[in-house]
A = this chain, B = another copy of it.
Amino acid sequence: MTVDLEESARKLLEVVPIIMQAIRSEMRSRRSLDLTVPQFRALAFVNRNEGSSLWEVARHMGLTPPSTSRLVDGLIARGLMARNDHPADRRRVRLTVTGQGLTILEASTEGTASYLADKLSGVDADNREVIDKAVETLRAVFAPAHELER
């Protein structure tokens, strides 16, 4: 029984980047899809939140608006996202995922989830449940507050 907070934190700090790296490599390895993690996340968010403003995407991702603006630029350049005028407020932007963007998002989600599922398949049912529960708790702890009421 660890229970030592600092110790738990250090382990988390060691393991999270390792998993992240695995996800990153997996995502970029599919030549045909080739989304970076931020691109993937932005696409997924806008897909779930049709017509998001740049600021909403930035807040979700924990990025500054300029960073987000560039990120979106890249996605638009590849035809995966579209930037339109907001009808009520001309300062604002309405972001949407294009058909092609959705196709790639889905393929990428599917592919990466399969990869992770494969990794997890070696874990017995009990421990998988432990992981599920931990992920749930961690989500509550780390997810931007405004996204938890869903």
A residues with a Cβ closer than 8 A to B are 1-3, 5-6, 8-23, 25, 37, 41, 61-62, 109, 112-117, 119-123, 125, 127-139, 141-144
- A20 lies within 8 A of B18 (CB): no
- Measured in the bound complex, the distance between the Cα atoms of B38 and A125 in whole Å is 33
Given A22-B62, A133-B130, A137-B127, answer yes or no on A120-B8 (Cβ-Cβ < 8 Å): yes
Contact A114 B23 (CB under 8 A): no
Copy tally for this chain in the complex stands at 2
Residues in B with CB closer than 8 Å to A136 are 11
Identify the 5 closest CB pairs spanning chains A and B, nearest first. A134-B134, A9-B116, A9-B117, A9-B113, A21-B62
